[in-house]
Each structure stands twice: as structure tokens, then as C-alpha cells.
Structure 1
Amino acid sequence: MTTTLITGANRSLGLETVRRLIDAGHTVHAGMRDPDAGDAARALGAHVLPLDVTDQASVDAAIAALPELDVLVNNAGILGTSHGVDDLDADAMSSVLDVNVLGIVRVTQAALPLLRRSGNPVVVNVASGVGWPRWLTTPGHDEFGVPTIPYAASKAAVVALTVQYAKNLPGMRVNASDPGYTSTDFNGHSGYQTVTEGTDATVALATLAQDGPTGEFHDRRGRIEY
């Protein structure tokens, strides 16, 4: 049985990833800041864990509660409150980086001892095409018109972080996923993809075999070339 931890698993993409990986036969631990908001995950058969990725003590307690771990899906993320230059300051940037980037580091570092005991350890970091400079600068791409600075910068950092983790952990499959323009609370449900379509890349990467790719960035169509 494959044991999986998903952060930010109480709704939207996180909850759909819970559902799909349970359907794939995984034992899923659904991490979330407020376990009282975990009824939907529990109804799917997940084990709900209190887990705040900005709090090292919370992260350590959640990892300590796991009997084993094969797959880590770092899904937790926030959009932030700054959406341009005029409302941007260091605090607005810091709050987004704390969740979207440092949160991945906190959870991954705490989980490494368990992952190293797995026969097929896998890490998936949920990034975004909004962090892909080529798409941010290409007219016609969904990402082109997005002005948000902290979120885009944080997701660019997630892609680089993923590549560097993969280099340092050659015995693991470490990849990043791009959900694409998916209908979620993040965008006021304006996205044209369903949450199932938005989790295609994450689920595919979470179910990789030992000979699967590592250090790559994928959307639902496959690898995004650097």
C-alpha cells in the first residue's frame, strides 16, 4: 500500500487530489490547518492531519504521526493580497513566500527520513504556469495577462526548488506540476478546467514508477520544456 501525504487538502485541487489518489489505492493523509474543515476529506476515506506549513512545530507533529511515507504532495499555497505594484510591499511578498516556498521546504525536510525508507519515494510540488517566465511573456498564454508579483515569483521559486531537490535526491522522483487555469476559489471560479483536469499532472506525477522522470515540470499534457 502506498502512503501519501497531501498538504492543503481540505478543498479544491487538494481535495480532488485526495479523492483521486484514494481511488488509485493510496492510503492518504490529508494535511490542513483546520482539521474541523476536513469532513469532505474524511468522507472520501482520508486520514485528516492538522498541518500548518508555516509552523515548524505543526509540521513536525504531523510527520511524527505518520507510520510511513511514500508520496509527498506539497499542494498548500496562497494567492496573497498583493495583485500589482501599487499594493506591493515586503510583508505581502514574505507572506506568500512563507507558505508557497518555505512551506515546501519545512514539510519536505521533515519528511525526508520517512521518504528515504520508502521503496519508491515520490515528491510532487504543485507549482503554476504563472511562475513560468516564457508563458508570462508570451501573448495568448493564460498567464500573459497576470500582473500578480508575489504569487508568480513564489511559483517560479517552486520550479527551481524542485529541480535542485531532484539533483540532491537522485533516489527519489521529485517533480513539479502545473494545474493550469482551473476553476477554483483562487480565480473566483473563472478557470475553464475542472478540478479533475487541474489535478491530472499532480496525480500522474504522484503515481510514478521508480523509472519515472525527476526534476521535471509537467502540466496535464506532459512535460513542459525548459
Structure 2
Amino acid sequence: MKSIIITGASSGIGHATAELFLQEGWRVGLIARRSEPLEALAEGYSTAVPMPADVTDAAGMQAAFDSFGHLDVLFNNAGLFGTPGTIDEIDLDDWTQVMNVNIGGMFIAARLAFRQMRRQDPQGGRIINNGSLSAYVPRPNSVCYTTTKHAVTGLTKTLSLDGRPFGIACGQIDIGNAETALLAELKKTQPGTETMDVSNAARSVLHMAQMPAEANVQFMTVMATTMPYIGRG
């Protein structure tokens, strides 16, 4: 049975992806801060493993990974947008929070997955980082989020390079306007925002995860067809 750990599994893209992998028969480690939604998601699935943890808590994350065992795939998904505004309007505490989750948390999860995949037998695995269209073209008033997503791209490329000797592949999925609670809030302030069903993002992650060891989706962009990405810069 293939195994995957998904961070940010309690809601949005992480929840939809976890549910799809469970339906496909994978053993799925569910990581998020709150245990209640993870337990609710796990109901009816014998292969679901709720592992409540904060991605910024290195010790808690290590305990979660150590308890899970053999790992084929990490979907490094947890992240937050932060308070919108121009750089002079952003409180430094808000900046630090977004950095800690979107970069620090992703680094911690990738580090633990890389270590597990390097040492397990058979060696190897796959790390899928959740980037964003903002890794290429920012939204207005998104300086914290956009900065982190550019950093994620650097992390993805470095993991791809450093993972080669150990059979560890790394790819990045850049998702545009999947219909989640976060996007619902955005649509309140930006009427007419074009979205797609979140299941399209989940199926794309599954496609990346199911690639044979000899192949890797390095970067994938999946987005609402009519959203203003091309030409929005």
C-alpha cells in the first residue's frame, strides 16, 4: 500500500486531496493543528492516520513523522495568506507568522520527509510542494504570501537536485483559484473572481504522486480556465 503525509489536511486543498487519496486506497497521514477535523475526515477510512501537529513545531512534527513509518510521498501543503496590504501597512508580526508557516513549516516537513526517504528501505520517495501562481505573478497586496511562494520554488529546485542520489524526486504544483473557504473570502472583496472546483487540484496532486520513480512532474500549473493569470502581471 502506498503512503502519503499531507500537511494542512483539515481544510481546503489539503482536505480534498486527503479524501481523494483515501478513496484511492492510500495510507494517509493527516497533519493539521486541530485534531477534530482530522478525526472527522478519518471516519470510515481504515487507512487514515490523524496526526495533529503544528507545522512550525519541529519536535511535534518529528514525533508525527516518526510514528508514521515508511513514506512514499509528502504533499507539503500547509500555508496561509496573511493580512493583505502594501509593505508599509504590514505588521512585522504578520510577516513573521507567514514566514514561519509558509517557509519554516514547509522546510520542517520537507526535512523530515527527506530524512525518512533517504534512510528507509527501499530508499526514495517523492515530495510535492504546494506553490502558487504567486510564485510567478503576484496578486496585489500579497507581499508576504508572494515572497514565501517564490522561496518555495527555490526549495523545490534544491530538493530535486539534492534528492537525485537517494531516489527522492521533488515537484511543485501551482494552483490558481481552487474553490475553498479561503477563496470564498477573496471573492467577497474581489467580485467576479473566477474559480474551479477544488477536486481538480486534488486530482492533479494524485497524478504527480502516481508517477513512476523514473519520471517526475517538476512543475505543474492547474488553474481556473478564465482567471487572469496570463496577462495579469
User: TM-score, length-normalised on structure 2?
Assistant: 0.83
Does the residue aligned with 1:193 lie in a helix, a strand or coil?
coil
Does the residue aligned with 2:5 lie in a helix, a strand or coil?
strand
Over the aligned positions, Cα root-mean-square deviation in angstroms equals: 1.9
Structure 1: stretches of 5+ with no match in the other structure: 137-144, 222-226
How far did 1:91 drift? 2.5
Q: Distance in 2 between matches of 1:44 and 1:107?
A: 27
Could you report, residue by residue, the CA deviation over 1:172-210 in whole angstroms, capped at 9, with x for unpaired residues? Answer: 110010121111122226351111012233222122211
Could you report, residue by residue, the CA deviation over 1:7-64 in whole angstroms, capped at 9, with x for unpaired residues? Answer: 0101111011111112232111111111122233212522110121111111111011
Does the residue aligned with 2:204 lie in a helix, a strand or coil?
helix
Could you report, residue by residue, the CA deviation over 1:154-181 in whole angstroms, capped at 9, with x for unpaired residues? Answer: 1111111101111111121100101211
> Partner letter of residue 206 of structure 1?
A
How far did 1:119 drift? 5.0
Aligned to 1:224: none
1:122 and 2:126 are equivalent in the alignment:
yes
Q: Distance in 2 between matches of 1:17 and 1:180?
A: 15
> Partner letter of residue 39 of structure 2?
D
Aligned to 2:226: none
CA contact 1:70–1:119 (8 Å) conserved in 2: no
Structure 2: stretches of 5+ with no match in the other structure: 188-193, 224-233
Does the residue aligned with 2:65 lie in a helix, a strand or coil?
helix
CA contact 2:113–2:127 (8 Å) conserved in 1: no
Q: Give the 5 Å matches for 1:133-152.
A: 135-136=137-138, 145-152=139-146
> Partner letter of residue 164 of structure 1?
T
1:178 and 2:180 are equivalent in the alignment:
no
> Aligned pairs, how many?
210
Aligned to 1:208: 211
Using the aligned pairs only, state the percent identity: 26
Aligned to 2:22: 22
CA contact 1:101–1:157 (8 Å) conserved in 2: yes
| Moved segments of 4+, more than 4 Å | none
> Partner letter of residue 35 of structure 1?
S
How far did 1:86 drift? 3.8
> Partner letter of residue 6 of structure 1?
I
Aligned to 2:196: 193
